[in-house]
Amino acid sequence: MCGIIGYTGTANAIPKMMKGLSVLEYRGYDSVGIAAERDSQIQIVKCKGRIGALEEKLRDHPIEDCHCAIGHTRWATHGGPSDKNAHPHRIGAVTLVHNGIIENYKDLRSSLAAKGVNFLSETDTEVAAALINDCFFHLSDPVASIREAIEMMKGAFAFGILFEGYPGEVFAVRRGSPLILAHGSDGYYLASDMTALLPFTKEYYALKENQIVRLSSGGAKIILSDGSKVTPEWKITTMTPESAQKGGYSHFMLKEIHEQREAAVKSVSPRIDKNGLPDFSSDGIDKDFWKKIKAIQIVACGSAMHAGLVGQRMLEDLAKVPTTVHIASEFRYHPPMLPEGSLVVVISQSGETADTLAALRYAKENGVPTLAVVNAVETTIAREADRRIYTFAGPEIAVATTKGYCTQATVLWLIAAAIAHTTGKLDDARARNITQSLLKDVPAAIEKMLKLENQYHKIARNLINHEHVFYIGRGIDYALSMEAALKLKEISYIHCEAYAAGELKHGTISLIEPGTPVIAICTEKELFEKTESNIREVRSRGAQVTLICREDLAIPADSADEIVSLPTDSDEATVFAAILAIQYIAYETALLLGCDIDRPRNLAKSVTVE
């Protein structure tokens, strides 16, 4: 969490900082600040609040044109959101911004305090500034002091640093947290994420672990751990500035909900061969790889973990591979048996989630092959996994994931089909049915569901009057319910629980009162009868029921107060149509409640702390 940015060059740095920070706000948005160097003087302006608060503060404390600056938008970890805890932090000759957590900051702080450092904030970041400054005091060299200081730090960090006496230069280093360098016609940049730099340039380099970088208007030098210097090998991103803008939609979330038609196709089309069969050779994965898999452990957080539950169902049903889904933060404390033939699949939209990364590293340390299903390219998880399959969803800005989750599910579905086909569990015709359905029926179903906006609005109008909502479903619909409940909770702040429909009667049904909203999902024909019994159980206790179900079911008129019909062109189409409905219902609910949809309170999109 937290977003950092830096620039040095020939243009005015301040508008660049403001523009980049406004894009980075999705990473955290409880305080914001910049430090600018002009005529060898470093000026810091920072405050609690969002970019608008900083703009206001800059009106009272203007920074004159300057060509070298760093900036930060914060998601509080050590010390609450406040002016004094906002970054940048300055100690002595060092001014820095930080994304990550210094785990041993307490010990470092005590020893630095014993040397006389007077800390003004509660942050671990100020301790990092003090430590680098302490090293600089006796080494008098920025790169050497950064190197010495990071040797003493435990945890994750990406720093952007200004040193007094080094005008026009920005230094940076990363370990665990992401950092991108970029080269534009008017100078050099750094940022936590390339999307923040798209307004300025497309040429980038993803800094590697422990690499230190020194940027000036004349160039970028990477200093390796042996002290040797290399020039970055710039790459060109395929992302466009428009992809990180709202494009006429009122929210990024709405835009991203709509983008799912296209994203679903992009995620699967490169993996379908000319005969219409699954083929991951463009990802460097051949049939032999799939054949060797005897068991799969899926590890992820939040919605990515929910996508894993959809994948688990397909991997077991289609490919007959025993699959377990783990919450990444729990994986190491109760590590599963990882026998010969195991594959650990980590799923992550951002490619930077600390818990998922830790689980990936655990698997690697234990010699288990790893595969990452990841959206953001060249991120730590993508780089460290033995193999990676990109979901190609494009930049996702809204904190609540939609297209990220959708494409994780499409890719996992296709992986299941690939394993099933390679191991003879699916013949060509059935495998082709699945690929064609993912390629054609799914986007068509999404398109159809996008037109039901008025119905989602009507459902939302009812939900906003309640404090508690339940989603229920069986089989894959239980997995969808979990995602639906998370979506509603995270953006509307309405308490929502997902229950396996058959499990309600073992306790939770006691919470059903007259009027309690219960949303039942039914994408599986064979399960409808049983789910319908559960619906009757809650209806007879006064629940208001919304049914999101297949359009080909004969639904008794008194089964539900509202029915959202799902297209049934194929199983895949029905499931992804339901996904669209649950996302849109959450969106409409949050909209009616006036919530900050793209930036829900207390959350951040990229969670780089464990």
Q: Supply the residues annotated as catalytic.
A: 2, 605
Residues pairing with 4 in the sheet: 72
Nearest residue (CB) to ligand G6P, 63 versus 398: 398
Burial of 186 (0-12, 13-18, 19+ CB in 10 A): middle
Assess contact for 491 and 587: CB atoms under 8 A: yes
3-class DSSP state for residue 94? Answer: strand
Nearest residue (CB) to ligand G6P, 297 versus 348: 348
Nearest residue (CB) to ligand G6P, 8 versus 77: 77
Token pair, residue 113, equals: 């305090």
Nearest residue (CB) to ligand G6P, 183 versus 306: 306
Shortest approach of ligand G6P to residue 402 CB, angstroms?
9
Shortest approach of ligand G6P to residue 393 CB, angstroms?
10
Nearest residue (CB) to ligand G6P, 256 versus 279: 256
Closest CA to 187 of 220, 224, 165: 220
Nearby residues of 449 by Cβ (< 8 Å), 6 or more positions away = 566, 567, 577, 580, 581, 584
Burial 570-595 (b: 16+ CB within 10 A, else e): bbbbbbbbbbbbbbbbbbbbbbeeeb
539-545, Cβ contacts within 8 angstroms, sequence gap of 24 or more: 541/509, 541/512, 541/513, 541/514, 542/512, 542/513, 542/514, 542/515, 542/516, 543/470, 543/512, 543/515, 543/516, 543/517, 543/518, 544/462, 544/515, 544/516, 544/517, 544/518, 545/518, 545/519, 545/520
Amino acid at 453: E
Please state, in angstroms and rounded to a whole number, the distance separating the CA atoms of residues 148 and 507.
57
Shortest approach of ligand G6P to residue 266 CB, angstroms?
17
Nearest residue (CB) to ligand G6P, 574 versus 583: 583
Shortest approach of ligand G6P to residue 178 CB, angstroms?
11
Question: How would you classify residue 40: left for phi > 0, otherwise alpha for psi between -120 and 50, otherwise beta?
Answer: left
Q: Which whole-number Å values give the CA distances from 564 to 20, 354, 544, in the listed order?
A: 41, 37, 14
Instruction: Give the footprint of ligand G6P on this chain (CB under 6 A).
Output: 301-304, 348-350, 353, 356, 399-401, 603, 605, 607
Please state, in angstroms and rounded to a whole number, the distance separating the CA atoms of residues 598 and 26.
8
Nearest residue (CB) to ligand G6P, 479 versus 522: 479
Length of the chain: 610
Please state, in angstroms and rounded to a whole number, the distance separating the CA atoms of residues 59 and 56.
5
Amino acid at 200: F
Handedness of CA 482, 485, 490, 491 (dihedral sign): positive
Shortest approach of ligand G6P to residue 348 CB, angstroms?
3
Nearest residue (CB) to ligand G6P, 349 versus 481: 349
- Which residue intervals of 301-389 are DSSP H helices? 302-317, 328-331, 354-365, 380-384
Residues pairing with 543 in the sheet: none
Shortest approach of ligand G6P to residue 303 CB, angstroms?
3
3-class DSSP state for residue 300? Answer: strand
Shortest approach of ligand G6P to residue 28 CB, angstroms?
11
Shortest approach of ligand G6P to residue 404 CB, angstroms?
6
Nearby residues of 204 by Cβ (< 8 Å), 6 or more positions away = 180, 181, 182, 183, 194, 197, 234, 235, 236, 237
Shortest approach of ligand G6P to residue 61 CB, angstroms?
33
Token pair, residue 212, equals: 């230190």
Q: Which whole-number Å values give the CA distances from 552 to 564, 565, 569, in the listed order?
A: 12, 9, 10
Shortest approach of ligand G6P to residue 349 CB, angstroms?
3
Nearest residue (CB) to ligand G6P, 434 versus 603: 603
Nearest residue (CB) to ligand G6P, 183 versus 388: 388
Residue nearest ligand G6P by beta-carbon distance = 302
Q: Which whole-number Å values give the CA distances from 167 to 34, 137, 475, in the listed order?
A: 16, 18, 61
